[in-house]
Structure 1
Amino acid sequence: MAIPVCRALVPDSHPTCFSNLSNGTSFPKKRSLLFCTSSSQLYPVRSEVCFCVGTHLIPHPNKVERGGEDALFVSSYNGGIIAVADGVSGWAEENVDPSVFPRELMANASSLVQDEEVNYDPQILIKKAHAATSSIGSATVIVAMLERNGILKIANVGDCGLKVIREGRILFSTSPQEHYFDCPYQLSSEMVGQTYLDAMVSRMELMEGDTIVMGSDGLFDNVFDQEIVSTLKTHGDDVAEAAKALADLARNHSLDSTFDSPYSLEARSKGFEVPFWKKLLGMKLTGGKLDDVTVIVGQVVSSSNINVLDEITGI
């Protein structure tokens, strides 16, 4: 079977992760989780840190019944691990459910976080999770791992993204990988897809108070950087509400045909435009991109005197 032409999003079923599996629950969903361990004596000079995380998922309006095609998982291992996978909707034309591959990919990743061979390396986690995935399909993916000393390791294949915000400004952003407009790199069940070797790998040191925003392209195609920063400022330390607000903003922009979104700006830069007669009337290509939206907001906090809070084990 040939790999279908690009696009889409997806969920998991591991007991320690969050997902948008269609299991009779309502959508959208939001969750928050504090990933912390009490401070040890390993780093006597610098306080250990961990993630406090909020998540929110809104499926595409036409995919609500099955929970959409985005998946994510969140683990409290070490300083915290977060990941998002975005299934490719083109598989539906081959009578393949596009949500199954990313769900299994995320479930496998979640179950492998403590694997010795992974050794807290997001690129190797992607490798092993991909190798263990037997479903037909493909997905973009991003994984971020925070060590308790503040080192953040990131590996991404495709256009799921992550931004680091410090003191009200974007300090770091991952770059999307794509073959051409709207066709990102992707892990696949087919030999022609990308592998963990194609992952873009990043590493940086975070500080207490830093905030990360991770999401599928349903977020970043519809929300500008300055909107992300202002939304985080509005909601302060409430990561769950911040994730919900960003997801709601992305959905609202995606439904607005007059909004000059990041997606429409990129489309015009790639040569896409409205029909000639509309151009004569002064019209241009605008609007958001209707898609599944997955948002994870993580705040870096000190783990001193905080116990592990892992009461959320699923939907």
Structure 2
Amino acid sequence: MLRRGLRGARALVGAVLELNTQPTASIPLALAAVSSAPSTSASCASRHAALQSRVWLSHAALQHAPAPHTYTLTITTGNLRGAGSLTPAWVQLVGTQGKSERIIVGDTEDDSLGRGTVRTVTVTVSEDLGQLRFVNVQRLGSSISDAGTGWYLEHVVVSTPERHRLVFPCHAWFGEADCGGMRGPLERNLLPVSPEDSKERGEPVRMIASGLAVPHPDKVKNDGIKGVNRKGFGHGGEDSYFYCEGKNHVFAMGVADGVFMWREQGIDSGDFSRALMRLSEASVLGGSADVVKVLQDAAAGAAAAGIQGSSTACVVLVNQERGQLLAANLGDSGCLLLRPVEDGEAADHEAAPEMDLEDMAEFGTGADPPEAPAERWAPTVYEVKFRTNQLEHDFGRPYQLGHHAGADTVDKCDVATRAVRRGDVLVLGTDGLLDNLSDVEIAEEVAACRGRGQGPSIIAQRLARLAFEASYDKGRVTPYAVAASEHFDMVYSGGKPDDITVLCAVCE
């Protein structure tokens, strides 16, 4: 009897020890063998039950342990004079569901970031990062050596666990270049390009822009709030916008929409949205050419100043020398890139006069802009080449930066890069525009205005006017009506009265 009890205990212990070497499918078989082993004492049976429970817990843990996700990164240093570096760099992946640990590259002589080198590293995470937003690259200080004082990164290519290949172009210096006196920041956020977009090359452009913010009529009537529209900056209600040209021919523009409901707690979110735009402008004028960094600087500045409220934000940078657009969007504001798909020869006409600043301020109080004179024109068709994604936690609950604990972070923003060329038109708007006019309607109005030879000021005015009219049309099928019908499973029609902000920039 004693021998049989010892044999049963040994069988149980042996099964436990084998758990680390057996496939999970064989574990129940081992347990079955243990269960059939004889036992003659109560204490032995108790130990048997305890060990069996531990085995089952181990089996369950093995079954539910998350499988590792491995990303392969290929880092290419440019083949330029002085492009190499003996100083290592940190690399980090940032996705919609999380971020990886920072991985160091170039920290050994055999793995240095020399001129023209291609280095491959792997990043393993326990949980899926989701869709990759950007790659953060940070050079660990500057070095003075035969390899130069700066580092020129060509690009980073990421192979995902699903075997997708993503290209994150850089084509820029970290630190001071050996040629031409160029100097770049030691940290950059690289945005992905799709395979089809990576084949498209931009061309040098010059951006001509204008903006308009129109507050909700009730705010004008009840609170006396007026739109303030000046060259480079404006606001209306809780909406705000900016546009400017920074260093190194970088053009920037952005819109922000403060969340009105904070008024119930005595907080004006217009202060927050205006701060975001002013701080974004300051970051660009200070030399930043990294759209994620611009938004990070703005969010950090608003937090440091103790400004309360919350706001959506969409910021776009255009490298005018390379013809490259960089976009970052958080929430339900957005950006559209429109491109002519066929050329039309405009008939002789006199283009409509653009409004001056006083006229724009008048429109900000609810007055209508002057009508453009009717004239013959040859139509040009525009198509939407790119649109930022709308980020919402739920219908009517957009992602937003803010002072509160539940606020979102810049890491969650939707980012993208696209090539731009002469003739392209950029339209940025808050949800007052995008909830009331479809992409097709915006493209048609841009085509009509460009066909008449009209510039960004008239385009912004026309889009704001059309969005305003649609917002009060109860029979209109608007993007907001379609989304509300789907969300509430009921038929809804009409627009959504709101603050309306429109920015327009033409690539020349």
- Identify the TM-score tier after normalising by the shorter chain: 0.7 to 0.9
Residue number among 502, 505, 508 corresponding to 1:295 in the alignment? 502
Distance in 1 (alpha carbons) for counterparts of 2:219 and 2:419 = 38
Matches within 5 A, 1:124-273: 124-133=293-302, 134-148=306-320, 149-167=322-340, 168-236=382-450, 237-273=454-490
Distance in 1 (alpha carbons) for counterparts of 2:308 and 2:250 = 33
Matched, 1:60 2:216: yes
CA distances 1:103-151 after superposition (whole Å, capped 9, x unpaired) = 11111111121335xx311111111111111211000001000002100
State the 1:51 CA deviation: 1.2
Aligned to 1:92, the other structure's residue is in SS state: helix
Residue number among 276, 301, 321 corresponding to 1:105 in the alignment? 276
Contact 1:156 1:199 in 2 (8 A): yes
C-alpha spacing 1:179/1:140, structure 2 compared with 1 (3 Å):
same
State the 1:48 CA deviation: 2.6
Distance in 2 (alpha carbons) for counterparts of 1:227 and 1:79 = 29
Deviates more, 1:224-233 or 1:242-251: 224-233
Residue number among 200, 205, 222 corresponding to 1:49 in the alignment? 205
Match of residue 71 from structure 1: 240
Contact 2:250 2:289 in 1 (8 A): no
Contact 2:432 2:501 in 1 (8 A): yes
State the 1:226 CA deviation: 1.6
Distance in 2 (alpha carbons) for counterparts of 1:238 and 1:115 = 28
Residue number among 265, 286, 291 corresponding to 1:94 in the alignment? 265
Distance in 2 (alpha carbons) for counterparts of 1:95 and 1:107 = 22
Aligned to 1:99, the other structure's residue is in SS state: helix
Distance in 1 (alpha carbons) for counterparts of 2:240 and 2:334 = 14
Which segments of 5 or more consecutive residues in structure 2 lack a partner in the other structure? 1-181, 183-201, 226-235, 341-381
**TM-score w.r.t. structure 1 length?**
0.75
Match of residue 84 from structure 1: 255
Aligned to 1:127, the other structure's residue is in SS state: helix
Q: Aligned residue pairs: how many?
A: 246
Structure 1 counterpart of 2:466, which letter? L
Distance in 1 (alpha carbons) for counterparts of 2:282 and 2:318 = 17
Contact 2:333 2:431 in 1 (8 A): yes
State the 1:271 CA deviation: 2.2
CA distances 1:5-52 after superposition (whole Å, capped 9, x unpaired) = xxxxxxxxxxxxxxxxxxxxxxxxxxxxxxxxxxxxx9xxx8631211
4+ long deviations beyond 6 Å: none
Instruction: Flag the structure with higher helix content.
Output: 2
Which segments of 5 or more consecutive residues in structure 1 lack a partner in the other structure? 1-41, 274-283, 302-315
State the 1:190 CA deviation: 1.5
Distance in 1 (alpha carbons) for counterparts of 2:275 and 2:507 = 28
CA distances 1:38-94 after superposition (whole Å, capped 9, x unpaired) = xxxx9xxx8631211121221101223234110001112224100000000110111
Distance in 1 (alpha carbons) for counterparts of 2:333 and 2:203 = 31
Distance in 2 (alpha carbons) for counterparts of 1:152 and 1:221 = 24
Aligned to 2:256, the other structure's residue is in SS state: strand
Distance in 1 (alpha carbons) for counterparts of 2:206 and 2:507 = 6
State which structure, 1 or 2, has the greater radius of gyration over its C-alpha atoms: 2
Contact 1:50 1:146 in 2 (8 A): no
Distance in 2 (alpha carbons) for counterparts of 1:110 and 1:219 = 22
Distance in 1 (alpha carbons) for counterparts of 2:219 and 2:274 = 15
Distance in 2 (alpha carbons) for counterparts of 1:290 and 1:272 = 22
Contact 1:114 1:120 in 2 (8 A): no
Contact 2:335 2:427 in 1 (8 A): yes
**TM-score w.r.t. structure 2 length?**
0.47
Ranked by relative contact order (alpha carbons within 8 Å, sequence separation 6 or more), the top structure is 1
Match of residue 168 from structure 2: none
State the 1:272 CA deviation: 4.6
Distance in 1 (alpha carbons) for counterparts of 2:493 and 2:461 = 25
Please provide the CA RMSD for this pair. 1.7
